[in-house]
């Protein structure tokens, strides 16, 4: 993209401030209307050069002009054209959706010819031998929580009966889209094929939840296990592991199992175990008796603690 103002002053885009000033002075001397009484266009040409210098000669403005934030007139350029300028074209692009009329192929032969998935319009001005890139295709895939965590290979059946092997990376998140270059519709006359976009939906798991790269699980423990401590079996995404519930554990306490979370190229998460004390199904006489006498000499009130006070 050539920057017009630099052409007006006859300097290169990486010219120094000094060079720009010197170029301007030379041109100004040459073009000044009063020094060129016979030149009708002198005023206009001089104005052009002065306006260019007003921007390029000012270090701040020159910076803005170079990144496109202001235009030749010094006005704030819109930072982009509206999206429709790019999207509303006959040219193929990768956000083109055929979802609005995919089903029209069901209405009959003529429709299925015209609207079935294909690589671009069939009528093109300029002749049908123009190479035309293939259309993108969109797929949606649902995988289980564990498949998302460990990664997996899945096979998609395409409308034309062919299959597409999709490698799903470990640690993929619900809603992420995989883009497979060149796996879309074939192009015509040697043009490249379009891409396949596979959006991934991850089903929730009965026990495990995801929090970033960590796995979260709620672990029920018995009253006696909380009081006395105990070694218990805990499910993880890589199988069952042994974990020690510490003596005196409380509900809400979180124990961290390092490295048992989601493994990606960059990091290894942990499994966070949230303890939840579950009372026995019935409070029998033994427990009742014991607790009553114990409470007489050991009453404590956790609501008296600072963290609970408003």
Partner 1 sequence: MLTEKDVLLRVSGVTRMRLQTWVERGWLSPAQTDTGHAFSDLDIARCALIRQMRDDLEFDDETVPVLLALLDQVYGLRRELRAVLRAVEAQPDDISSQILEVLKSGRDEIENGD
122 binds partner 1, rule: CB under 8 A:
yes
Task: Give the one residue of 37, 162, 175, 302 binding partner 1; rule: CB under 8 A.
Answer: 175
Q: Please provide residue 278's backbone torsions phi and psi, each rounded to the nearest 5 degrees.
A: -115, 125
User: Is the CB of 92 or the CB of 263 nearer to partner 1?
Assistant: 92
Tell me the window of 8-16, 57-65, 97-105, 157-165 that interacts with partner 1 (CB under 8 A): 97-105
CA–CA dist 149, 37 (Å, integer):
80
List, as one string, the DSSP characters of 59-116: HHHHHHHHTTSB-TTS-B--SS--HHHHHSSSS--TT---TTTGGGGGG-HHHHHHHS
Q: Long-range pairs for 142-147 at CB < 8 Å and ≥24 separation?
A: 142/200, 142/201, 142/202, 142/203, 143/168, 143/172, 143/200, 143/201, 143/202, 143/203, 144/202, 144/203, 144/205, 145/202, 145/203, 145/204, 145/205, 145/208, 145/210, 146/205, 146/237
| Among positions 99, 284, 286, 296, the unique one binding partner 1 when judged by CB under 8 A | 99
CB of 79 to partner 1, least distance (A): 6
What is the rounded end-to-end Cα distance, in angstroms, of the chain? Answer: 63
Q: Distance between CA 70 and CA 300 in Å, rounded?
A: 71
Q: Does 63 bind partner 1 (CB under 8 A)?
A: no
Q: Please report where in the chains the tokens 């299925």 appear, as a residue.
A: 112
Least distance (Å) from partner 1 to the CB of residue 60? 16
Spell out, one character per residue from 146 to 165, where the chain touches partner 1: x when CB under 8 A holds, - when not: --------------------
Select the residue interacting with partner 1 from 22, 115, 192, 253 (CB under 8 A): 115
265 binds partner 1 (CB under 8 A): no
The only residue of 22, 36, 50, 96 in contact with partner 1, by rule CB under 8 A: 96
| Per-residue interface string for the shown chain with partner 1, residues 194-233, x marking contact by CB under 8 A | -x-x-x----------------------------------
Using CB under 8 A, which of 2, 85, 129, 242 touches partner 1? 85
**Residues of the shown chain interacting with partner 1 in the complex, contacts defined by CB under 8 A:** 67-68, 79-90, 93-101, 114-115, 121-123, 125, 173, 175-177, 179, 181, 195, 197, 199
């Amino acid at each position: 993209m050539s920057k017009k103002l630099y052409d007006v002053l006859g300097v290169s885009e990486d010219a120094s401030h000094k060079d720009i000033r010197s170029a301007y002075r030379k041109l100004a001397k040459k073009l000044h209307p009063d020094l060129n009484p016979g030149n009708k266009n002198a005023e206009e040409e001089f104005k052009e050069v002065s306006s260019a210098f007003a921007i390029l000669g000012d270090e701040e403005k020159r910076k803005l002009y170079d990144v496109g934030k202001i235009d030749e007139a010094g006005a704030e350029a819109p930072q982009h054209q509206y999206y429709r300028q790019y999207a509303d074209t006959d040219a193929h692009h990768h956000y083109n959706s055929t979802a609005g009329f995919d089903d029209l192929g069901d209405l009959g032969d003529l429709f299925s010819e015209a609207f079935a998935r294909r690589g671009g319009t069939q009528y093109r001005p300029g002749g049908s031998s123009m190479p035309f890139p293939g259309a993108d295709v969109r797929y949606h895939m649902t995988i289980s929580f564990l498949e998302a965590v460990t990664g997996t290979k899945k096979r998609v059946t395409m409308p034309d009966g062919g299959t597409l092997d999709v490698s799903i990376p470990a640690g993929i998140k619900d809603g992420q889209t995989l883009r497979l270059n060149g796996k879309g519709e074939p192009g015509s006359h040697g043009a490249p094929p379009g891409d396949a976009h596979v959006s991934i939906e991850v089903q929730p798991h009965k026990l495990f939840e995801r929090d970033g790269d960590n796995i979260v699980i709620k672990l029920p423990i018995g009253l006696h296990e909380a009081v006395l401590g105990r070694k218990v079996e805990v499910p993880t995404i890589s199988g069952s592991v042994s974990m020690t519930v510490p003596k005196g554990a409380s509900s809400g306490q979180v124990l961290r199992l390092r490295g048992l979370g989601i493994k990606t190229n960059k990091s290894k998460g942990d499994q966070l175990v949230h303890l939840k004390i579950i009372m026995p199904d019935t409070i029998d006489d033994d427990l009742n008796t014991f607790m009553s006498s114990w409470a007489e000499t050991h009453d404590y009130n956790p609501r008296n603690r600072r963290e609970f006070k408003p």
